[in-house]
Each structure stands twice: as C-alpha cells, then as structure tokens.
A and B are shown apart, each in its own frame.
Chain A
C-alpha cells in the first residue's frame, strides 16, 4: 500500500472510532463538548506520533520481548508531558478533560498502532493518518452531542427559543447511542456489518 493510501485509510477506510471501534473511552466519556473532543484528539495524535518515533529509534537496539514495556514507558512519559504543558497553557481545558487526559497512556488505539511491525516511515504516516482520523471522529461526535444536548456548537449557541435541548445526549449513555448510530451509518454507507474488532 502506498504511503498516501495508508494515510487516507486511517481517516476513512480504517477510521479508529467508526470502523475499528478503538479508543472509545474518550469518545464516550468526554465528548459532550466539541472542544474536548478536539483537544483530546490532538493530544492523542501527539502522544501516538511521539511513541512511534521513540519506538522506531529504540527498537533497533532492544530485544523484542521488552517492546511492550518500552511502549508503556514512552506513553506514560509523553502523556505526563502533555498534561504538564496543558496545565501551564490551558488549565481550564485540563480541568474539563479530567482523568481522560492521563488515560491516553492506556488508549487501545495507541497500543494497537504501536504493535504494528512495519518500516519506520510507514509507521509514522500510519500514526499521522490514524491521529487525524481519530481527532476528526471525536470532534464530530462532540459537535453532534453538544448540539443535541445543549443547542450549542463549540460554545456558540445555535438553537434559541422554545426548542429545548435534549440533555440526555450529553450524558455517557447518550454518547453510547450517538456513537452506535454513527457506526451503523458508516456500516450502511460501506455496505458492511459491524463486527466486533478483534
């Protein structure tokens, strides 16, 4: 597969949220606001890219059996760095993201991409595509949930007057329904069934 196709597959064909059902924790837990989805998506992309670069450099010198622990160490280090940086520059966002920001270190999508054994350049392109696909998915879920749940998009009021927002959409079970429906829509468009990712 060419690098361009690999990059694009992470965004559409193998979208981590809607096609692979990976990294759903922030997709359901924190995307009641679109801005949260955008921030957590960008943070995850940075952590994934950093971890892939570290793995590409270090894997030449280390035994494969310690690969998992190297991944754990690099993910923890990068997530803590992001946490500290957000704490300095965007403390309000940090409070909103709560425990979901540190949980990037145990994100299933990040671990799954790190376990792939391909050439370093391919891995980096794949991580970038996946990261962009993940960020776009989380932002889309956030926009829909914020609009239905609060009548706003990125904090800007869209619906005014007598139309009452459906606040259940902003809860976690409401997120389950919206993500489930979006996945079904993707399956219908691709004419596929939504088998559980193995």
Chain B
C-alpha cells in the first residue's frame, strides 16, 4: 500500500513528466488551448501509456537488451500502442494523421516514460504503476495549464509575452509551487 502511494506520488508530483523532466512540451503548447482538448489529450496519453506498459511488461523478459538498444524497442512499442488508439482518438482531436499520431500518441513524454521505467523499475506491478502515475501527472498538468491559459486569454498580457512565453512562465510558477514535494 505504502509502496503504491510512493509510486503514485513519484509519478504525479515528484517526477512530473512536464514540470520536472521537461517532457511532452509539444503537447503542452498544442493541446492546452481549451480544457476540453486538454482532457481528450490527457485521456489519449493515459490509454496509450497503459497499453505501452502492458506490451513492455510482456516483451521485456523475452528480449533482454542493453539500455543502448532500448530506444528501438520502446519506440516500436510506443508506435504500436499509439496506432492502436489512433483511430479512436483522431476524430476527437481533429488533426491530420501524422501530426496527431506524433504529438498525442508517440511523443517524447511516452518514450521518455518508457525509457525511465526501464532504467528504474523492473517488476510488472511497478512498471504499470509508474506508467499510470506518470500519465496521470502529465494529464493533470495539461488540464491545469489549459485552465490557466483560458484565464490568461482574458487578461492584458504584453504583446511580446503573448502565447508561448507567458505559457512557459505560468508552467514554471506551477512547477515552483509543486517543488515543495521534492524536498
């Protein structure tokens, strides 16, 4: 129980994919225009990550490879799980095939999560737990940032800061606020 909570806190807060590892930023910029889009992207990530973790759990014991060779293996796993969910989510996210495949499914957050898992966790339960927690933290940040961004649209932001700069600075403030959990 305690171990499970640790794993959840690690994935959601302490090692949050976006705020503390800087992963999945393409999705942060692209899918946070409205809360609605952010929720869809978060669900897509959760589903893809969970599928990727299940595939990784089955494949890892069968193909013991060095860390250097993990990239091709995990890239294929991410691609397969992304393709599985791609057809379902594509109309919802409303993008052309390659872009949504890349940004919502096979993104740096998913591949980074798989590479992190292979380096730090070995047993099946931990793999699934960390994968779920990582995707949950990623989704939560997307939704919170979408909410902040909707509010920012109503404020008088200086021209040079409009768009990406103010979004990054807002994400930084959120990150600093959550940093207390890392101490």
Q: Which residues of chain A have a CB within 8 Å of any CB of chain B?
A: 21-22, 24-30, 68, 72, 76-77, 79-80, 83-84, 87, 99, 102-103, 105-108, 111, 115, 168, 171-177, 179-181, 183-185, 187-188, 192-198
- Encode contact with A along B65-82: 1 for CB under 8 Å, 0 otherwise: 000111110010001000
CB contacts (< 8 Å) of B101 on chain A: these are 68
Taking a contact as CB atoms closer than 8 A, the residue among A21, A99, A174, A177 that contacts B119 in the complex is A99
B140-173 contact mask (Cβ, 8 Å, vs A): 1 or 0: 0000000000000000001111111111110111
Separation in Å of the B20 CB from the closest CB of chain A?
5
Q: Is A176's CB under 8 angstroms from B75's CB?
A: no
Whether B22 contacts A102 by the Cβ 8 Å rule is no
Establish whether residues B116 and A168, one from each chain, have CB atoms under 8 Å apart when the complex forms.
no
Decide: A80 and B164 in contact? CB cutoff 8 A: no
Q: How far, in angstroms, from A25 to B18 measured CA to CA in the complex?
A: 9
B interface vs A, CB < 8 Å? 19-26, 29-30, 33, 68-72, 75, 79, 98, 101-103, 106-108, 111-112, 115-116, 119, 158-169, 171-176, 179
**Pair B22/A28 contact, Cβ less than 8 Å:** yes
Taking a contact as CB atoms under 8 Å apart, the answer to whether B68 and A80 are in contact is: yes
The number of A-B residue pairs with CB atoms under 8 Å apart is 149
Q: A194-B163, A196-B167 are in contact. Are A173 and B25 (CB under 8 A)?
A: no
B18 to chain A: closest residue by CB: A172
B66 CB → nearest A CB, Å? 10
> Given A80-B68, A196-B29: A29 and B21 within 8 A (CB)?
yes
Of the candidates A22, A24, A106, A181, which one forms a contact with B22 in the assembled complex, judged by CB atoms under 8 Å apart?
A24
Instruction: With both chains docked as a complex, state the minimum distance between the C-beta of A87 and any C-beta of chain B, in angstroms.
Output: 6
Query: Are A171 and B68 in contact (CB-based, < 8 A)?
Result: no
- Residues of A contacting B116 with CB < 8 Å? 99
Q: Is the CB of A172 within 8 A of B68?
A: no
Q: Are A102 and B176 in contact (CB under 8 A)?
A: no
Nearest CB in chain A: distance from B111 CB, A:
5
Is the CB–CB distance between B164 and A173 below 8 Å?
Answer: no
Residues on B with C-beta less than 8 A from A180 are 161, 164-169, 172
Q: Knowing A106-B108, A111-B102, A171-B179 are in contact, say whether A176-B21 is a contact too (CB < 8 A).
A: no
In the A-B complex, the 7 residue pairs with the closest CB atoms:
A173-B175, A29-B22, A180-B168, A28-B22, A176-B172, A194-B163, A188-B160
Closest residue of A by beta carbon distance from B111: A106
Closest to B27 in A: A108
Task: Report which of B22, B111, B159 forms a contact with A172, defined as CB distance below 8 A.
Answer: B22
B164 touches A102 (CB 8 A): no
